[in-house]
Amino acid sequence: MISEDQLLEKIDNMRDEIIKFHQEIVRIPSENPPSKYKEVARFVEKKMSEIGLKTSIKRNNVIGEFNNGGGSTLIFNGHFDTVEAFKGWTKDPFGAEIVGDKIYGRGASDDKSSVTAEIFATQVLLEAGVDLKGKLIVTAVVDEETGGLRGAEYLLSNELVSGDACLLGDAANGYPFGYCGGTMYITITIKGKTAHGLAFPDLPTPYRNENSGINTIERMVKVMNFLLELKEELLTKTTNYPTSDGWGSNVSSINLAEIHGGTKITTVPDRCYLHLSVNTIPEQNVASIKKRLLDFVEKMKEEDPDLDISVQIPIAMEPQVIDESSEFAKIVQKVAEKIHGEKREFKTLMPSTDAHWFQERGIPTILVGASARDNNIHAEDEFVYIKDLMDLVKMFALTALNYLK
């Protein structure tokens, strides 16, 4: 059987091929929105097929399988949708230009680096003739940047993918991430009554009349004040799990992300929408925060008979913590030590990822990645260090080598 060192040498010898593929995938726009994925999905599927995987495309999600029977099933996962390119770049966001030890482009780091890495890790294993026991599933998915409902969640809920463990590429470089914070995405909508803001403003009794408006922005301010007070409360508790420097905070937080309301300075606004996200430390129960918000809204309704408010929470994910004593966790930690030359403890990842979809279905999931603090992910001039990309290929390959041996 091939040794770890021999496999690592083979990966190093594939460096130019890996870089070329990564440039090619970065050059294919796959921004979310507008969520046009057909070209990149076909490109990824073609490569998976060429290296010997049984492939399929399900709603632009690409699945590649190698089934040798007689063992466990390991899932590799990465996403190829990206945030928008935005403005302000000094490089072509879809040029995949190499400058020194960096490859520039939207998604070069987040998260096409993981798609490239999982594919080439699989390729080197198959080309080396490694006798994998069990099944290796390689998934490249869409929609992660907007919650994953059409991507990882779709594949799992429709039982198109299942397994015993998942190595998910969407994290900082250098460490395995075994602890994940919780997440909620929330939209609050308030409907009111439009009126002339100078003649019939929203006034309390006894100043109201049948023509008075119902101001949705004023009511949303009360909700926002509650959320900001709750945010201050959450800041008083820090996590005891180790965090990775520069990758998220060690406290729970609330991000008031987007607000819309009103049409004209002299008109009472009859609609107001607030979009926000909640990110929690592993110790913080997401359901309790959800209850606090819903209880506050119910109290507002009792006190204000004119209030028409709805709360939508399409995504609510509880924190997850890996079982460090499991075979899978021990293997990943040992692989990280092999690649980096020293023991690397599990770290905490606060930003939400697709990991929750796997974890909630009882699939132990550990995150790895190629993103450095200065990679400008979700910003202009995003790039990935070539060394981090190569190290990620090695993480995927050695994990499969040891887990499916």
DSSP state of 38: H
Question: What is the model's pLDDT at position 392?
Answer: 98
CATH class of 4-180+319-403: alpha beta
pLDDT in tens, 25-67: 999 999 999 999 999 999 999 999 999 999 999 999 999 999 9
Question: What is the model's pLDDT at position 276?
Answer: 98
Nearest to 276 by CA among 183, 144, 360, 181: 183
Question: What is the model's pLDDT at position 246?
Answer: 67
pTM of the model: 0.91
Which tokens hold the place of 223? 């909700």
Beta strand ranges found along 170-210 (DSSP E): 177-180, 182-191
Dist CA 230 CA 151 (whole Å): 32
| Rg of the chain on CA atoms, in Å | 24
The residues of the chain that CATH labels 3.40.630.10 are 4-180+319-403
Segments in the chain below pLDDT 50: none
Question: What is the model's pLDDT at position 305?
Answer: 92
pLDDT in tens, 188-243: 999 999 999 999 999 999 999 999 999 999 999 999 999 999 999 999 999 999 98
Partners of 363 in the beta sheet? Answer: none
Q: Tokens 């008109």 belong to which residue?
A: 267
Nearest to 366 by CA among 170, 201, 206, 226: 170
The residues of the chain that CATH labels 3.30.70.360 are 182-316
In sequence order, what are the residues at sequence separation of 6 or more whose Cβ sits closer than 8 angstroms to the Cβ of residue 305? none
Looking at 3.40.50.1100, 3.20.20.110, 3.40.50.1220, 3.30.70.360, the CATH number of the domain 182-316 comes to 3.30.70.360
Where residue 29 falls (left for φ over 0; alpha for ψ -120 to 50; beta otherwise) is beta
Question: What is the model's pLDDT at position 244?
Answer: 79
Question: What is the model's pLDDT at position 69?
Answer: 82
